Amino acid sequence: MYAGITFSIKRKAIKKHNRHFDKPAYFRKPTGSYMRFDQKNFTPVQLEQFYRSLLLPRMTEEKMLLLLRQGKVSKWFSGIGQEAIAVGATLAMDDDEWIMPLHRNLGVFTTRNMPLAKLFMQWQGQKNGYSNGRERSFHFGSREHHICGMISHLGSQLSVADGVALSYRLGEKNKTVLAFCGEGATSEGDFHEALNIAAVWDLPVIFLVENNGYGLSTPVEEQFRCDSIADKAKGYGIEGVQIDGNNILTVYDTIRGVREYCLNHKKPYLVECMTFRMRGHEEASGTKYIPEELFAAWKPKDPVLNFEQWLLQQNILTTTDIESIKTEFKNHIDTEIEKGLIPAKITVSAQEELDAVYAEQITFGGFTTAITDNDAALEQGRFTVREKRFVDAISEGIYQSMLTHNNLVVMGQDIAEYGGVFKVTEGLLNKFGKNRVRNTPLCESGIIGTALGLSIEGYKSLVEMQFADFVTVGFNQIVNNLAKIHYRWGQNADVVIRMPTGAGVSAGPFHSQSNEAWFVHTPGLKVVYPSNPMDAKGLLIAAVNDLNPVMFFEHKALYRSISGPVPEEHYEIPIGKARRVEEGEDISIITYGAGVHWALGYAAQHTDTSFDILDLRSLLPLDYDAIRDSVSRTGRILVLHEDTLMGGIGAEISAWIQENCFSLLDAPVMRCASLNTPVPFNTDLEKNFLAKSRLHEYIQRLIHY
C-alpha cells in the first residue's frame, strides 16, 4: 500500500486491469479514445502536479522541433506521445534514486527539475552544458539529479543499474533503481545478462521497457515472437507486467507499487509500457515506413490531451486553469531558451580536453607507500621481504587492497569457493564473505556494467576475466562505457579488470591471446602488464587505488614459474613508470611481461653484447622519458612483445621513437613479435608462433646493420 494505492503483483489482476493490451500494439485497430483514469486517493493538488509534469516536456519538445527546423539544434529524438512513461515513472521514484533514461525521456530530466536553460545549452553542444560540449542530446548524466548518462548501445545501461542496486544492498539502503530500455534493446544480450544478474543476486531494479512498436524502422514482429516482453520475466524467475504506457496514473501507480515490491522482496521487476512513437526514430528519418492506420489508432490516445480532458471532466481543472498553465510554461520555456541561446565563449584547449579523459588521482596518504625504484627500496631495508611466486604476489595485493578499501568488491566466474581457475582468489571468501567476494553468472558484459554501477555509488570493483580472451564478450562495456564516462560527464569508473593472458601453456587459440593492444588504443583506460612478483603486487594495489578503469594483464605462464622478492607491506608501484632492468650500451630491448624474461635469458647467454633492458610495466600511459633514455644509451632499439606484429604496441613505440628520437638512432627501430596467426595448440607450433623464436634473428640484424 502506498498513499492509499493498492498495487497487486499478481499478473492476472494486472492483465485484467489493462485488458486493452491483450494484443500487441501493432495489431490494434483504431478504437477512438479508450483511456480510463482512476483517481483513487490522488488529491486535486497531486493531479494538477501530474498534469504540469506531463505538459512541460510536451511543450518543451514542441519548441525544440521548431528550433530544429530553424537550425538552432542539430538533432532531436522525439518522445511526443510517450511522455506519460518518463514522467509517471520518475514521479514514482524518490529523488535520490538513480534513473537510467534514454533518448525519448525528456520527461525524466524535466521532472527531476533540471534547468531548461542548461539543458538547451547541452542540446546545442555548448561548453556550459552538462557535458562541456563533449556529448550530444541526452547522452549525459548528472550526479546532482541522480541521472546516469546513456550510451548509444542501448541495453548497456541495464547492467549499470544492477551495480547501483547492488550498492544499495551492500550499503543497506532502502532504495531502488529504474532503468529504461526500448523493445528493440530486449533483443540484445545485455538485456538478458542484466535481468539474469538482478534475478540471481536479488537486486531491487525496475526494468522499464518502452514498447513503442518500432526500433528505428524495424517493427516488433521482427524483434520477437513472444506474446509480450513482460512474458520474458518468467525466464529469469522474476515478475513482469504489461501496462498502458500512455496513462500517467497507471504508470505512476504501477511503478510506485513495483518499487515497494522491490524493496520489500529485494527482487527485480520487469514493466512493459505499451505506447507508440508518433514521430521518426529521429527527425531526419521520418515515418514513411509506418502504416498510416497506426497513427490513426494512436492519435486519440495522446497521453497529454486525454489526461487534460479527464481533468476537465472531473472539474479538477478548468479551461482557464489549463490556459493559465500553458501560458506560464510558454513564458518559462521562452525565457529559459533565451538564456540558453547566449553561447559561452569557447576557448579550445587541447590540454583541457586531455585532462578530462581521466579522473584526477588522489593520494592515499598514510596507508600506501609508493615505490619508484625496486632495487633501492629493497636495499634500504625499510620492508620485510619474502620470496613469493608471481601468483601469490597478486593474491596478496588483492587481499591487502580489500583490507585497505572496505568498499572493494571482487567479482568473477568461479572466484569464490573455487578460488578462480588459477586459484588467485582462493581463501578470500572465508576472510571477506559473499557480499564482497562474488561468484558471477557467465556474463562478462553484464558484470563489467555492474562494476560501473558500483562505481557510480562510490564502490571499487575488481573483476576477473577467467581468461583475457573472454573479454571480447564485454568489450563494449569497457571501451564505450567505462573508458568514456569521465570525459563525457565527469563520472569516474573505479574498476580494475584482471586479465590472465598469454601463450606458452599449450592452451590454443581461445585461451592464449595477448590482446593488450586493443585497449591501449582506447583513451580513458589504463593498461598495466607486470613481469615480476614485486611489480605485480605493487601495480595491482596501484590499480585498485586508481579512480580510473585499469586493464591489469597477468601472464599465465609466469604465475608459478617466476618467483622474486616481495615486500610484505602494503605498497604501490606507480602506474606509468617503466623499470630499467639492466643498463647497457649496445642494444636496447624495450619489452614487458614474458618478454622481459626472454630478454634477460638471451642477455645471459650472449654476454659479448651489452643490453639495455627496459620493462615498460605500464602500456597506457607509456613512460616516454624512460624510452628516450634507453634510446640515448644505445641508439639501436628492439621492441619485443608476445602480441602479434600487426597493430601491436611495438608499432606505436617504434613510431614515437622515430618521430621524437631520430637523431639518436644508429639503426632503424625493429620489432620482434609473434606471428600474425591465431595462437596454435601444438607445442612446436606454439613455440614457432611466439616472438621468442625470432629474438636471435632480430638482434643479429640490429648488431650488423
The set of catalytic residues is 511
Q: Which cell goes with 334?
A: 521562452
Would you list the DSSP string of 407-464?
Answer: TEEEEETT-SSS--TT-TTTTHHHHH-TTTEEE--S-HHHHHHHHHHHHHTT-EEEEE
Q: Which cell goes with 497?
A: 579488470
At a CB cut-off of 8 Å and minimum separation 6, what does 684 contact? Answer: none
At a CB cut-off of 8 Å and minimum separation 6, what does 592 contact? Answer: 529, 531, 615, 616, 617, 619, 641
> How far is residue 555's CA from residue 193's CA, in Å, rounded to a whole number?
28
DSSP state letter for 566: E
Instruction: Based on DSSP, count helices (H) and strands (E) in the chain, helices before strands.
Output: 25, 23
Going from the C-alpha of 27 to that of each of 30, 104, 196, 246, 591, the distances in angstroms are: 10, 23, 30, 17, 63
Q: Which cell goes with 191?
A: 538485456
For residue 342, give the nearest of 68, 120, 60 by alpha carbon.
120
Going from the C-alpha of 282 to that of each of 108, 121, 468, the distances in angstroms are: 18, 19, 38
Under 8 Å between Cβ of 157 and 150: yes
Contacts of 352-361 with C-beta under 8 Å, sequence gap 24+, read 356/132, 356/134, 356/486, 356/487, 356/490, 357/486, 357/487, 357/523, 357/524, 358/486, 358/524, 358/526, 358/548, 359/486, 359/492, 359/547, 359/548, 360/547, 361/546, 361/547, 361/548
Q: Which cell goes with 679?
A: 595462437
SS3 category, 214: strand
Would you list the DSSP string of 679-703?
Answer: PPSSHHHHHHHSGGGGHHHHHHHHH
> How far is residue 517's CA from residue 648's CA, in Å, rounded to a whole number?
6
SS3 category, 208: strand
Under 8 Å between Cβ of 401 and 368: no
Q: Which cell goes with 9?
A: 503483483
Residue with cell 602506474: 575
> How far is residue 367's CA from residue 571's CA, in Å, rounded to a whole number?
8
Contacts of 328-337 with C-beta under 8 Å, sequence gap 24+, read 329/52, 329/55, 329/56, 329/59, 330/59, 332/116, 333/59, 333/60, 333/63, 333/116, 334/63, 336/115, 336/116, 336/117, 336/120, 337/63, 337/67, 337/116, 337/117, 337/120
The beta strands (E) that lie in 223-323 are given as: 239-244, 269-274
Measured from the Cβ of residue 426, the count of other Cβ atoms closer than 10 Å reads: 16
Q: Which cell goes with 93?
A: 521514484
Give the N- to C-terminal CA distance of the chain in Å, as an integer.
83
> How far is residue 302's CA from residue 304's CA, in Å, rounded to a whole number?
6
Residue 302 C-beta-side C-alpha neighbours within 13 Å: 14
Q: What are phi and psi of 90, to 5 degrees?
A: -65, -40
Measured from the Cβ of residue 430, the count of other Cβ atoms closer than 10 Å reads: 10
SS3 category, 526: strand
